Structure 1
């Protein structure tokens, strides 16, 4: 039997990072300095994180038919990700995220979207879905998310979704209908508080994974909740840490691990991912994660 394949569908971008003393306020202004640019995008980050952790991955996304897009796709391909479903969009630039980063690792992002932002629902073909064991998406393009879930249901493949406050539509009717069809929903603390309006979690809904920053993460399903404390670290750049967490959690889940073990594994991976500038620059290997977990276990056992 071949190894399971994680199919990630969504955005691929370049992150232009700017160091600032503090995040600008409304109608405010701060001075900054450029740190550089790195590949990013939720789907690409999750796929790269899972690949580094020895999970087979396939990526569906679009980039502009420009030097940036070609360079990013080439890097993903070299890393071992199957990028054959990805498209270069003619007459479009690869979209950019501006990342404003403070010395403490606090950040704010601006998505400078272009037509090369998300795949089209028509891109969800049987060939893209063939052989996938698990699918991960975001809600950045609702029509695409619905098309993916429908295609996954036809072939019996579970779907997880990352949901952010920025992607919440004003009319949440379609989203409320989509949520019960998911296997997993990834959210941060702020998004978790907003979920009460959508009556999630609920018995017919997905399992819910909430990232809590330094406080770790929590898993909730119909059987109860599991909390796992975080890994102490001094972050250099938290960009993409949530994506790394999702990629690591899914890697462990696809291997049959328990929710608690998945949380431990993902917490360690996400902490390691914050140690360099760029969402993909410090993504850890399975060996790296195992070393952190071994140290944490040893430290716990020495406490009297």
Structure 2
């Protein structure tokens, strides 16, 4: 098993997250007062790239921001996490924004205004056979399809938000990552070659052509914010699998990383290196055996 974590190139969204933290989520037509407002870097693509870099991988971001103060802030945040931002386009459209309400238990409601993300182009972008390419569905499906066609190496899709997926895209995916509700909303995933499904407090599982191949239990944690947890899980699972861990070990490591992310109020939380989580999982399995 190599000590050097493989290169991950993330093709995806970059957003400014506007987060209102309230006692509970509002119902339709209801106004809730007393919330606390925060602004922070976000977007599923940027969150995954930042997590991959912080875990020790070589991370490159392909996305788009606006030529505005928010865009400059998003680029600074990615660079600060160790992400290569040379292929992030700066466009005339405004930087994408996510309006997020989070309740005291960490549950959330999100509305995304894509802005520059809707104008992302892969013209001139190349991928090497060594690169793992990781996409989500917060940018145009046509862009994701183009990335799948251009990618020469391991290709991963975090199929969120859930939508019908073209057969060509699913066939190209070496791995699809979803949560349990997304898995239920995309029936075609039952035929996919490899799918990782997260179940929140109930851990995660790996399915090969619809048959469970491995599972791992979750790590108990006090929930602060679930917004970036799935993205941290995605980055960790990809790095763990590409480093040669088996499915069960990779899921366990990704669960531990996701738990750290849930306990952090940021959408792009500080994380330890992947080796730290490997050691933690090994120690836990040794103690339980």
> TM-score by structure 1 length?
0.86
Counterpart for residue 15 of structure 2:
13
77 and 167 in structure 1: CA distance in 2 versus 1, 3 angstrom threshold: same
Q: Note the C-alpha offset of 1:300.
A: 2.3
Is residue 144 from structure 1 mapped to residue 140 from structure 2 by the alignment? no
Counterpart for residue 254 of structure 1:
242
The alignment yields a C-alpha RMSD, in angstroms, of 2.2
SS of alignment partner, residue 201 of structure 1: helix
Counterpart for residue 229 of structure 2:
241
Q: 4+ runs of 1 displaced by more than 6 Å? A: none
Write the distance in 2 (CA, Å) between the matches of 1:295 and 1:37.
37
Counterpart for residue 120 of structure 1:
120
Write the distance in 2 (CA, Å) between the matches of 1:147 and 1:36.
35
SS of alignment partner, residue 150 of structure 2: helix
Unpaired runs of 5+ residues, structure 1, are none
Counterpart for residue 167 of structure 2:
176
Q: Note the C-alpha offset of 1:192.
A: 1.1
Q: Note the C-alpha offset of 1:191.
A: 1.1
Write the distance in 2 (CA, Å) between the matches of 1:240 and 1:119.
24
Q: Note the C-alpha offset of 1:81.
A: 1.1
Contact 1:23–1:107 (8 Å) recurs in 2: yes
Aligned positions of 1:126-205 closer than 5 A: 127-130=125-128, 132-140=130-138, 141-152=140-151, 156-164=152-160, 166-168=161-163, 172=164, 175-196=166-187, 198=188, 200-202=189-191, 205=192
| Residue-pair matches, total | 285
Contact 1:49–1:284 (8 Å) recurs in 2: no
Contact 1:52–1:283 (8 Å) recurs in 2: yes
SS of alignment partner, residue 242 of structure 1: helix
> TM-score by structure 2 length?
0.91
SS of alignment partner, residue 225 of structure 2: coil
Is residue 110 from structure 1 mapped to residue 111 from structure 2 by the alignment? yes
SS of alignment partner, residue 186 of structure 1: strand
Unpaired runs of 5+ residues, structure 2, are none
Write the distance in 1 (CA, Å) between the matches of 2:232 and 2:267.
8
SS of alignment partner, residue 227 of structure 2: coil
